[in-house]
Structures are given as C-alpha cells and as structure tokens.
C-alpha cells in the first residue's frame, strides 16, 4: 500500500521541514504532492525546489502538481496565463471565450512544457497533471481546434472531441516528462472517459481518480467504489498503476467517518495507492476547510495506519 498527501499554502521551508514534514512521515506517507501553480512558477521556484529537497531527504517521494494551470487543470489557483493570452481561451459555439485554456492552443502547450521542465529542475520524482477539465457546455471551436480535428466538430460530437483533445495533451505531456526522467500521474474525474483513453495509449505511469463524494454530492461508499473499480479495470491490461484521491476537505462536522468509509471502498475496489487532499484537512484555506479539521485529519491518520497494517498483514 502506497500513501500520499497534498501539501499547499505554505512556502516557509523551515516550518515545513521541521514541523509539518515529520508529522507527514509519522502518518505513514510514502510521498508528498506539492502544488506548483503558475504563481509558484513565476515567484517561488526556489522555495518549491527546497520543499522537494526536504521531502526527499526525509525518505519520501516528491511530486509536483500543475495546480490550476491555465484554468484547465483543477485547483483554486488563478491563472496569469489567461490574462496574458486571452486568445488562448476556449471558444464556445456562440463565440464566447471562457476562462479555460484550450488544450490545442500552441501557447498553452508551451506553458505546460515550461512547467514540466521547471518541475524536473526542482528535482521532483513525479509530476501530477491534476484533473484536466472539460467544460460541460460544449466543445471549444477555436481555430486551433478546427485545425486539430475537424471531423469531430463537423459531426458536432463535442464530448468525444473534448476527450480526444485532453487525451492528446496528456500523452504529449507525459512523453515530455518521461524524457526528463519524471514519473507521470494524470488525474481523472469519474465518468470522464479519460482513464480508458490514457490506458489504451499507455500514456501515464499512474492514473488517479478523484471520487470526491462531498464535492460531487454523491453517497460515499458506492460512488467511491464504482469510480475506483472503473479506473482499476482500465489500468489492469495496460499495467498502469491505479490511484485514488481521498477527500479530507469540506467535510461537515460529525461526518468524518465518511473518510474511513471512502478509504475502505478504495481498497475494496482494487486501489493500492491512496493520496489525501489535503494535509490537515484544509485548515489553512477558508474555502475548503473541513468544519472540524483536526478531527478530520486524525481520521485520515487512523485510516492510513489501518491501511498500512492491513497491507502488511498485521
């Protein structure tokens, strides 16, 4: 059993190394996923590298997450790229440009390559491409999309085109990362169709599903189990590693037991790599803080110790 946790909202390296990291190690984590946003890329590259170094010196893997990059990847971080490149925004059929970068626009693909190079330069072991998003309203119809695959647009098959565009972006990104010696993980949302596409192309080392039952308004155990089982099945023949994200943010008071239920459902579905979003149940961020973050985090710790003990036969 491999366990991880996301660390975000702090760039004071000494605080992380001396206080938070020892707690993460004690929790039984094997890796830490550090968010690495556009803001970090511009202003905190040195601190990010130092966080990576501290993590690795503690014996854990250090992953970097392209948090909120271009508004296309999941995360609360704002995108400067969208301000600087309004022409790279996706275009709806009615002509409206929305604040999400188009995966087929060369400028955005170049930003992603720059980010990957920076992640490698920071010394990361792996990169995590965080839940690339396909806005549900309609497919992008910008010039680059029409040039990339006109057949889908002519058939007005927007969903298939979105999946194809995201899949192609992730295949290229994973290839670029591997060339720099990085392991790759791609986040997927339940029912997106992306896991099967990534598995067929053997594009990523890890396919990580986000069955965030609270965020998606779903019953915990069946939703988590079904989402995880689908990813585990997609990874089986391609021999990629299935992974699941355990929600520990925005947990209401007295519902902390849902964290335990979700962890158990993940393992029952065939997942042996679980990572929690996020460290200390989001207590550092008003927008996602669990109502009782200390209790929610203690529930994560207990679940992790139980998973480790079970995998060791204890």
Q: What CATH number is given to the structural domain containing 296?
A: 3.20.20.80
Summarised one tens digit per residue, pLDDT across range 109-146 is 999 999 999 999 999 999 999 999 876 667 898 999 98
Band of the pLDDT at 158, cuts 50, 70, 90? confident
**Per-chain mean pLDDT for the chain:** 95
| pLDDT average, residue stretch 57-74 | 98
Percent of all residues in the chain with a pLDDT value above 90, rounded to a whole number: 84
Number of domains in the chain: 1
Residue 32, pLDDT above cutoff 60: yes
Between 7 and 151, the more confident residue is: 7
| pLDDT average, residue stretch 69-80 | 97
Residue 314, pLDDT above cutoff 70: no
pLDDT for 312 equals 87
What is the DSSP secondary-structure string of the chain? -EEEEEE-S---HHHIIIIIHHHHHHHT-SEEEEE--HHHHHH-HHHHHHHHHHHHHTT-EEEEE-TTGGGTSSSS---HHHHH-GGGEEE-TTS-EEEEE-TT-HHHHHHHHHHHHHHHHTT-SEEEE------SS----SHHHHHH-HHHHHTT-HHHHHHHHHHHHHHHHHHHHHHTT-EEEEEE-TT-SHHHHHHHHT--SEEEE---HHHHT--HHHHHHHHHHHHHHHHHHHTPEEEEEEE-SSPPTT-THHHHHHHHHHHHTT--EEEEE-GGGGTT-TTT--SSHHHHHHHHHHHHHHHHHHHTT-
In which domain, by residue range, is 162 found? Answer: 2-311
| pLDDT average, residue stretch 300-307 | 98
Between 142 and 148, the more confident residue is: 142
Residue 192, pLDDT above cutoff 90: no
| pLDDT average, residue stretch 172-192 | 96
């Amino acid at each position: 059993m491999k366990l991880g946790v996301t660390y975000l909202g702090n760039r004071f390296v000494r605080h992380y190394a001396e206080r938070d990291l020892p707690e993460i190690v004690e929790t039984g984590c094997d890796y830490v996923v550090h968010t690495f946003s556009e803001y970090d890329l511009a202003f905190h590259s040195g601190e990010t590298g130092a966080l990576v170094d501290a993590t690795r010196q503690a014996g854990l893997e250090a992953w970097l997450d392209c948090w909120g990059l271009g508004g296309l990847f999941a995360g609360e971080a704002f995108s400067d790229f969208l301000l600087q490149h309004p022409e790279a925004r996706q275009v709806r059929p009615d002509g409206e440009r929305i604040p999400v970068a188009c995966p087929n626009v060369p400028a955005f693909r170049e930003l992603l390559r720059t980010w990957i190079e920076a992640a490698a330069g920071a010394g990361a072991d792996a990169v995590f491409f965080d839940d690339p998003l396909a806005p549900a309203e309609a497919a992008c119809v910008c010039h680059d999309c029409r040039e990339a695959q006109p057949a889908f647009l002519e058939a007005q098959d927007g969903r298939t085109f979105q999946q194809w565009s995201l899949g192609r972006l992730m295949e290229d990104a994973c290839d670029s990362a591997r060339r720099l010696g990085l392991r790759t993980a791609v986040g997927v949302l339940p029912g997106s169709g992306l896991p099967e596409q990534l598995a067929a192309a053997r594009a990523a080392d890890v396919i990580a599903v986000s069955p965030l039952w609270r965020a998606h308004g779903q019953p915990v155990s069946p939703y988590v189990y079904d989402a995880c089982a689908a990813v585990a099945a997609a990874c089986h023949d391609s021999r990629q590693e299935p992974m699941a994200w355990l929600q520990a943010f925005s947990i209401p008071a007295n519902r902390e037991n849902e964290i335990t239920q979700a962890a158990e459902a993940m393992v029952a579905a065939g997942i042996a790599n679980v990572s929690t979003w996020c460290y200390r149940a989001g207590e550092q961020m008003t927008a996602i803080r669990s109502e009782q973050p200390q209790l929610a985090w203690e529930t994560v710790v207990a679940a992790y110790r139980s998973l480790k003990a079970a995998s060791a036969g204890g």
